[in-house]
Amino acid sequence: MASEGDPRVLFVMNLVLSAVFGTAILWGLDFVGLATFSPTNAAVAALVLMALTGIVIRVL
Residue spans of the domains in the chain: they are: 14-59
Asked if residue 1 has pLDDT above 60, the reply is no
Cβ proximity of 37 and 27 under 8 Å: yes
Cβ proximity of 45 and 30 under 8 Å: no
pLDDT band at 2 (very low <50, low <70, confident <90, very high): low
DSSP 34: S
> pTM to 2 decimals?
0.81
* Average pLDDT in the chain: 91
pLDDT score at 15: 94
Q: How far apart are CA 56 and CA 44, in angstroms?
A: 18
Mean pLDDT of 32-57: 93
